[in-house]
Structure 1
Amino acid sequence: MRLASIVSGLSAISGVLATAIEPEDFNVTNALQNLGVDVTKIPALASGIQSRSIELGCSTACSSLAFLFGSKVSTHNSTGYNSFTGSFWSVQQEEVQPHCVFRPSVNTEVSTAVLISRLTGCQFAARSGGHAAFTGASSSPGGISIWLKDMNEVTLNEDKSVASVGPGNNWLSVYSALEPYGLATIGGRASSIGVGGFILGGGISYHSNLYGWACDNVESFEVVTASGLILTVSEKLYPELYWALRGGGNNFGLVTKYNLFTIPAPQMYGGARIFQETEFPDVINAWINVINNATVDGHAQQYVAFLQSSGMKLGTAELTYTKNESDPEIFKQFRSIPAISDTSSSKSLVEYVKYLETENPSGHREVYWPISVQLNEEFSNWALDTFFAMVPQVADVAGVQPVIIYQGITEPMLKNMANHGGNALGLDASKGPVHLMHIACWWSDESDDDVVYAFVNSFWEKVIAHAKSTGVFNEYIYMNYASMFQDPIAGYGNSNKALLKKIAKEFDPKQVYQNLQPGYFKLDGAPVTGDF
């Protein structure tokens, strides 16, 4: 289904759809009654809902959820609450203090939580893996944080072509469940990354040159709408919402099940080769050649990262081959470049994601911040030189480690984005490979936040200006790496953004997922407007 046909189809059914999903006379109390919840029996709601402060509304909401679900609701200083706040990847997320944490175990409980939020005006957030790097992305300050941890089933259909995956899984648990069958899905490359945000934002996989991104390999979604309805959404059922969920983030509903196409999972081979500064031009040339040869051999996956450590400038090429071959032709150029270290070995997918987890340490203040440009070797070398020239700006920041990472969005990846009706990302395969570059940086102290953000922002301002002047700039922003100062939806292009907003209005006419779930990346603007 092309973009034009989605627009045409949506226009034809919009009135009927809006009435079916949420009629004009929609009543939250009646919707709760349909779920077996009588609000008159809930002490905190027995007197009805009057105009209340946000704080009182959230107290009422959390008390109501506790009445209904007991120990599934945790409050300040309880074991469950501390387990939630203490288990995020970034410190910024751990600092958020929700009014309560709710751990649903079935989809109807998620529906109830959304409707209780509407009834009380208490904001909420939903957490799958919690791997974002900024405040409030998947935890609600002063609100309801819905922790999907207990919705963690992984099952196969009869012919094992589709794995049904709960949003409480991370990729280690998914791969571990499927490994005995010799199967996997298109998923994350580190063990602790959650299923939910990864898929809804795109999802680059070890196998993406063969099959595309994770969002392009979803057979169907199970979605809780703002009215509490539970929909199965696929290429044939609600195709416009299916398109929107493939890159549109958390703007349309809470996904309570991902039905993912399975793939074979043979033994793999790979690891990191580390290079000194003198080899950087050759490393970038090899990296570009692997991207351009993805049309010849789709089994290769790679990224290169550059950093300064103990006064040395180092480059790391993570080279992964999805067959158990130690020296495939596509990586021979890389292997001809002298390396000071090489961790390559035969690994299962489960072993690989455990290994790569060690490269993404938790417990730090973190920022990820990407841009995109068209693949260009001269520009890639210029940007790397500029990065190292600017790193001294944060030399005095405690515990700081800035890294610039180069990845390629290859022609096979781009062509696979047309599968199953296409996705919402707005990338154009006809323009050739895209260079996805991003800064990853961690540091120790909150007092240095603005210094680090200003450093990254100033670097990107310089890089973007040069990219525009040389004609290689691409407006696409990869949501899964985006910083709180960026607007990924705008990077999908004006037509895609307009269509996403139209679809959101049809499925969520009161903008519940924009206003009561304000965290992460919304349809209008960045989470935070930085002043640098």
Structure 2
Amino acid sequence: MRFDKSAVIAAWAVTFAIARPFKHLVGEVEDALANLGVDVTTIPQLNGSFTGSACERACGALDYLYGSERVLSENIPAYQNATESYWSAQQQEVKPTCIFIPSIDTDVSTVVLLTQLTECPFAAKSGGHAAFAGASSSQGGISILFRDLNEVSLNDDKSIASIGPGNKWGQVYKALEPHGLAVVGGRLSDIGVGGLTTGGGISYYSNEYGWALDNVESFEVVSAPDGNILRASETERPDLYWALRGGGNNVGLVTKFNLHTIPSPPLRGTTRVFSEDQFSNVLDAFVDVARNARADKNAQQYVVFAHTGGMNIASAELTYTKDVSDPAVFRNYRSIPAISDTSSTRNLSDYCSGIGAGDQNGQRQIFWNRTFKLNDEFAKWVVEHFFSVVARVTDVPGALPMLVFQVITEPMLEMMSRAGGNALGLDASSGPILMIHILSKWNNTSDDDTITGFVDDFFTNVAAEAKARGLNNDFIYMNYASQFQDVISSYGEDNKARLQQIASKFDHSGVYQTLQPGYFKLAGAPVQGTIES
């Protein structure tokens, strides 16, 4: 059955209240859908006689166009499997009206256009490894799973890998290893390509090549409100290219990442665990490697401090991107007596799988980070303070708070000026930068406030101590941030204003700010009016 076009538009005019911001886009969006082969007058759910909610209309329209294999509704096993694919319990608990699985890039254009017609909110999931509810899931809206946009291909000279946002890094590395290649990407196999790259992307190769966002040759991104797929590179829409390198999901949904490839020989890695009496030596080694990052760019490190098994331990993850059994850069670490050492040579995909082997989906999780000027005595103070207060939550069922030390090294910072720079607001003059990250898991919803309050108090005290020592730094890393942190503002006033200007240019109606409310937006923290926001 066909519907009269004028009647459909008239019905929309009645349905959309005057205050709704997308009412004026009906004709433009309808034309854009027609260009994709979608005639809205044939879709029953978009007829004025359909009485469902905005998201029931949108999901019904998607089901009409794509069928139940690609549009999952609640109470079917495939829907449950999709929600359980998120890493944290908080994201698994989110219940969208439907879950949409695009198979080609123009399917993403279609769903973005339909959400504007119906004013149904949406979110998009690459790997789903953000911790807080709504980061890549939409309560009562549409959750878009990029799962099947999983291309990994090479250009003719193998200098560029074209990668779909549905990939996780383990898939990418396995696809490229037969060619002796890799790309600068995540350090765990189960992390998604999309969020990691647009938010930053610290890699085992970052001392040599920079972060993932600084190794993108170009992006293909769905703009709004027209749903066009735009290419952004250093020479083509360089402003959009700049914004996508650190701006998260604020300027569009990326449907393809074209990344520079790098050689990928076997690497040497170890998890070396130390007892509490060696903490001072471990921190000395950590700072020494950080300050000498230019001397050997093959080295990458982070150190995790935790109370586990009845004792306080430090676990140093030491990675060398060549197969060298005892590189000089790590000899200070090797001189410290260790409880255990897992040194081995592996290819990149196996190494990343091994690092994440103990992680599991479905626990409550929190990320939170702050950055500071690197200082030996301050680092030691932070560790002492952490263990002086961690008993506050050690009795919480399932709780395992971990204090993670990483450094944004001078070589990493120098690479951030490549190809016109990125949106993060960092430069080599501010380095090296100590990044302090709390990751904690726990079991029960009833303990959410206890864990959140503990982490907030910890960083409040750490920031006060840093301020007293003149060591504060404003930058907050998006990929480790909590829902209470205003990441975009931490890039500096000028960069925030530039991101706002670019977002207005490529999304003049604010589709990605209003209909996609999750994750770190230009307006502030995801949860505003509390704690850090």
TM-score (norm 1): 0.93
Cα distance change on mapping 1:468 and 1:529 into 2, 3 Å: same
- Contact preservation (8 Å) 2:84, 2:361: no
Shift of 1:24: 8.6
Once the two structures are superposed, residues 250-282 of structure 1 have per-residue CA deviations (whole angstroms, 9 ceiling, x without a partner) of 000000000000000000001200000110011
**2:129 aligns with one of 131, 135, 142:** 131
Q: Bigger CA drift: 153-162 or 285-294?
A: 285-294
SS of equivalent to 1:371 = strand
Match of 1:500 in 2: 499
Q: How does 1:108-257 map onto structure 2 within 5 Å? A: 108-226=106-224, 227-257=226-256
The one-letter code sitting in structure 1 at the alignment partner of 2:300 is: Q
Match of 1:5 in 2: none
The one-letter code sitting in structure 1 at the alignment partner of 2:73 is: T
Q: How does 1:61-100 map onto structure 2 within 5 Å? A: 61-70=58-67, 71-100=69-98
Cα distance change on mapping 1:133 and 1:444 into 2, 3 Å: same
Give the whole-Å Cα distance in 1 for the aligned partners of 2:430 and 2:137.
38
Give the whole-Å Cα distance in 1 for the aligned partners of 2:271 and 2:483.
30
The one-letter code sitting in structure 1 at the alignment partner of 2:273 is: I
Q: Does 1:414 align with 2:413?
A: yes
Match of 1:513 in 2: 512
- Contact preservation (8 Å) 2:89, 2:365: yes
SS of equivalent to 2:441 = strand
Match of 1:36 in 2: 37
Q: Bigger CA drift: 361-370 or 488-497?
A: 361-370
Give the whole-Å Cα distance in 1 for the aligned partners of 2:440 and 2:102.
34
Shift of 1:200: 0.3
Give the whole-Å Cα distance in 2 for the aligned partners of 1:283 and 1:475.
26
- Contact preservation (8 Å) 2:394, 2:400: no
Shift of 1:434: 0.3
4+ residue stretches of structure 1 with deviation over 4 A? 23-26
Give the whole-Å Cα distance in 1 for the aligned partners of 2:431 and 2:82.
43
- Contact preservation (8 Å) 2:273, 2:313: yes
Match of 1:59 in 2: 56
Once the two structures are superposed, residues 310-345 of structure 1 have per-residue CA deviations (whole angstroms, 9 ceiling, x without a partner) of 321100000000000110000000000000100110
The one-letter code sitting in structure 2 at the alignment partner of 1:450 is: D
Once the two structures are superposed, residues 132-190 of structure 1 have per-residue CA deviations (whole angstroms, 9 ceiling, x without a partner) of 00001101100011100000010000000000000000000000000000000000000
Give the whole-Å Cα distance in 1 for the aligned partners of 2:436 and 2:361.
22
- Work out the percentage of aligned pairs sharing the same amino acid: 55
Give the whole-Å Cα distance in 1 for the aligned partners of 2:48 and 2:93.
34
The one-letter code sitting in structure 2 at the alignment partner of 1:91 is: A
Give the whole-Å Cα distance in 1 for the aligned partners of 2:483 and 2:529.
9
Cα distance change on mapping 1:124 and 1:76 into 2, 3 Å: same
Q: Does 1:454 align with 2:453?
A: yes
- Taking only aligned residues, the RMSD between alpha carbons, in angstroms, comes to 1.4
The number of residues matched between the two structures is: 506
The one-letter code sitting in structure 1 at the alignment partner of 2:385 is: T
Match of 1:373 in 2: 372
Q: Bigger CA drift: 129-138 or 306-315?
A: 306-315
SS of equivalent to 1:216 = helix
Shift of 1:361: 3.2
Once the two structures are superposed, residues 468-509 of structure 1 have per-residue CA deviations (whole angstroms, 9 ceiling, x without a partner) of 121111000000000001111011011000100010001111
The one-letter code sitting in structure 1 at the alignment partner of 2:211 is: W
Give the whole-Å Cα distance in 2 for the aligned partners of 1:499 and 1:280.
43
Give the whole-Å Cα distance in 2 for the aligned partners of 1:524 and 1:383.
31
SS of equivalent to 2:133 = coil
Give the whole-Å Cα distance in 2 for the aligned partners of 1:364 and 1:216.
32
Give the whole-Å Cα distance in 1 for the aligned partners of 2:237 and 2:487.
24
Shift of 1:360: 3.4
Shift of 1:359: 4.5
SS of equivalent to 2:124 = strand
Q: How does 1:394-433 map onto structure 2 within 5 Å? A: 394-433=393-432
Give the whole-Å Cα distance in 1 for the aligned partners of 2:427 and 2:179.
36
Give the whole-Å Cα distance in 1 for the aligned partners of 2:496 and 2:359.
32
Shift of 1:25: 9.3
TM-score (norm 2): 0.93
Give the whole-Å Cα distance in 1 for the aligned partners of 2:61 and 2:431.
53
Q: How does 1:296-445 map onto structure 2 within 5 Å? A: 296-445=295-444
Unpaired runs of at least 5, structure 2: 1-23
Shift of 1:48: 7.9
Give the whole-Å Cα distance in 2 for the aligned partners of 1:294 and 1:174.
27
Once the two structures are superposed, residues 94-133 of structure 1 have per-residue CA deviations (whole angstroms, 9 ceiling, x without a partner) of 0000000000011111000000000000000000000000
Cα distance change on mapping 1:378 and 1:87 into 2, 3 Å: same
The one-letter code sitting in structure 1 at the alignment partner of 2:40 is: V
SS of equivalent to 2:53 = helix
Match of 2:100 in 1: 102
- Contact preservation (8 Å) 2:84, 2:362: no
The one-letter code sitting in structure 1 at the alignment partner of 2:120 is: C
